[in-house]
Chains A and B, each alone.
Chain A
Amino acid sequence: DIQMTQSPSSLSASVGDRVTITCRASQNITSYLNWYAQKPGKAPKLLIYAASSLQSGAPSRFSGSGSGTDFTLTIGSLHPEDSATFYCQQSFSASRTFGRGTKVEIK
């Protein structure tokens, strides 16, 4: 199995801050990395696919980068509605895996 390690597990930031979340794969997954946001009681929503492509309808303040084993999700300017848990997921192996999540809170 490919293990996905996210950091930090949680963070607190102010509206307008630039926020960065990292995800590391246990082996090379090239660019097969996706990011999701989940709010309490709701299904996750796809934000970024293929490491850096913005999903249709996702706000442009979200961006992704990286390849190989190290990836980053950046929120360019934090909005109040960005309070959520963010997950990375690899889609390289036929057995998909998610990271454990990063909970983002607004100060």
Chain B
Amino acid sequence: QVQLQESGPGLVKPSQTLSLACTVSGGSISSGTYWWNWIRQRPGKGLEWIGSIFYSGTTYYNPSLKSRVDISVDTSKNQFSLKVTSLTAADTGVYYCAREMGLYCLTTTCPTSYGLDVWGQGTTVTVSS
């Protein structure tokens, strides 16, 4: 049974860069049939999709965050990572990683039919001096 676990600092200063990792256990990140996603939830707010990555390194990002976000994959560690630069208090929240079944694609649609079926428990990030 595949499990995801987020890790990273709980407290980061404004203007700094947040680095989070998501470790995949019970399965291979290189299986070729999954996209690996980051989602966040600000306090008291809804879910916000940040971006996704295929094991080959192809990424898609939320246009509103694209200039500050980078998602990468390390197949040797069975892990994918998120970096968010130029942090402000508005980046405070719970960050989740999640798996989504889908084939590789390189278009603006890239539809998948199976949803985000496995989630990490989430990690709380506070941006404060």
Contact = CB atoms under 8 A, between A and B. Distances in A.
Interface in B44-58: 46-49, 52
Interface string B75-109: 00000000000000000000010101010010111
Given A46-B115, A55-B117, A93 B110 contact: yes
B122 A50 contact: no
Interface residues of B, number: 30
Interface centre among A45, A49, A50 (most CB of B within 10 A): A49
Contact of B60 (A44, A85, A94): A94
**Majority SS at the chain B contact face:** loop
Given A34-B116, A94-B60, 19 more contacts: A31-B113, A32-B112, A32-B113, A36-B47, A43-B119, A43-B121, A48-B115, A50-B113, A87-B47, A91-B115, A92-B109, A92-B111, A93-B110, A94-B107, A95-B49, A95-B62, A96-B52, A98-B47, A99-B46
Interface of B: 37, 46-49, 52, 60-63, 96, 98, 100, 102, 105, 107-117, 119-122
5 pairs of A and B residues whose beta carbons are closest in the complex: A34-B115, A49-B115, A94-B110, A43-B119, A96-B49
Interface of A: 1, 30-32, 34, 36, 38, 43-46, 48-50, 55, 85, 87, 89, 91-101
